[in-house]
Amino acid sequence: MNVVNLVQTKEELICRAVARHYRSERYGRGPSAGLMSSYVDAVTDEVVLVSLDGKTARYAVDSFR
């Protein structure tokens, strides 16, 4: 029997968000500047990526499950 672990670490969530962010950039939907910072916002339950040009991209944690 396979057991799926639904709990993801902050690092896993950030890695998935970065991958999604750069995939969307390739198709013209993401910011073009490099990534400056990333964190998981516990209040809004989102992964937040901050680019060098000051723009933020937010991804709901639930979207990675």
**Could you read off the pLDDT of 28-48 as tens digits, one per residue?**
555 566 788 899 999 999 999
* Conformational region of residue 9, where left means phi above 0, alpha means psi within -120 to 50, and beta covers everything else: beta
Contact status, residue 14 vs residue 29, Cβ threshold 8 Å: no
The structure's pTM equals 0.71
2 domain-assigned: no
**Number of neighbouring beta carbons within 10 Å of residue 7:** 6
54 domain-assigned: yes
44 domain-assigned: yes
% residues pLDDT > 90 (the chain): 12
Sheet with 56-60: strands ordered across = 35-41, 46-51, 56-60
19 or 1, greater pLDDT: 19
Domain that holds residue 53: 10-64
Structural domain count of the chain: 1
